[in-house]
A and B are shown apart, each in its own frame.
Chain A
């Protein structure tokens, strides 16, 4: 079964299923950046007036693996926490998001109105982490790309609030619309640490093709 099919099934089961949480905490600002093995690069900034929603801006660069085309998409986006389960030793979340922007493509002329939508389901305990995420980018008469990502993580030692947390993460990512052929697996190390005024998250690893896959996030 392909990752797309697994994702489709999960989406049906979860209604709006999606890595890092797009909403930090009430009054929190999140800055995120990702380098996706040369295929995608994204930076985002969100402010959360409530733990239930956040809004912000982002820029996404997509490059086809064969060099056939590239997309530059700048967007406004809103994120919503649809459902949270707070359990005694676990938490699960369903997030959804959507937005509008402007896209420039190397294989078409002129800037186009672009839409984006997506969702995430995550479940984590102190030692186990899992997430399913989908991102869809669309421009009428331009392009349609979906990026589906699944992650499983394991913390090799127990960490508490005031200690450096280390996670070993395996990731599988599927791109549609000619960006990449097949599913792209990656192995990552994720570190995060809380400070007095902010929290830092960084993860880095390699894909099966030997390309760098990395991400950072700062909450303050």
Chain B
């Protein structure tokens, strides 16, 4: 009985672990027109105020905006598209990734 409970518990932990690793932690967006640091402040402010957002990274050199999601949360694509459009920019692609925002920063060479 104890072995069965241990096996069930282990299985549950492993399943959760796999699920947690597959869960998107960041949303990466390629954005056109992202050249003025002074003007892009609006993007950071808008995305940073969302319930699902933990942190925001704006990379002008890569034309990229990345959002770190809070655990178990996500943001609808249309909401992201509307937010970027309302900020005056053109959203090209949206991609969900399991890597953390720190991983994205390291990949892009941005400082935290």
**Residues of chain A whose beta carbon lies under 8 Å from any beta carbon of chain B:** 21, 24-28, 50-52, 81, 84-91, 124-126, 158-163, 165, 192, 194, 198-199, 201, 217, 219
Contact = CB atoms under 8 A, between A and B. Distances in A.
Nearest to B111: A162
A24 B35 contact: no
Contacts, number: 91
- What 9 A-B pairs come out closest when comparing CB atoms? A25-B42, A86-B33, A51-B88, A86-B90, A161-B58, A86-B32, A91-B33, A199-B41, A192-B38
B4 to A, nearest CB: 53
B37 A219 contact: no
Contacts of A50: 86
Interface string B39-62: 111111110000000000011110
Contacts of B88: 25-26, 51-52, 81, 84, 86
Contacts of A51: 42, 86-88
Q: How large is the interface on B (under 10, 10 to 19, 20 to 34, 35 or more residues)?
A: 20 to 34
Given A26-B42, A84-B33, 12 more contacts: A26-B86, A51-B87, A86-B90, A88-B32, A91-B35, A91-B36, A126-B60, A158-B61, A159-B60, A161-B44, A162-B110, A219-B41
Contacts of B44: 161, 194
Given A26-B86, A126-B61, A158-B61, A219 B38 contact: yes
A161 B90 contact: no
Contacts of B111: 162
B14 to A, nearest CB: 39
A217 B46 CA distance: 21
Interface of B: 32-46, 58-61, 63, 86-90, 110-111
Contacts of A86: 32-33, 88-90
A91 to B, nearest CB: 4
Contacts of A87: 32-33
Nearest to A25: B42
12 contacts: A21-B39, A25-B41, A25-B87, A26-B42, A26-B88, A51-B42, A162-B58, A165-B37, A192-B37, A192-B38, A201-B38, A219-B41
Contact of B39 (A24, A125, A160): A24
A160 B37 contact: yes
B42 A194 contact: no
A217 B38 CA distance: 10
Given A25-B87, A50-B86, A51-B86, A88 B63 contact: yes
Contacts of B86: 26, 50-51
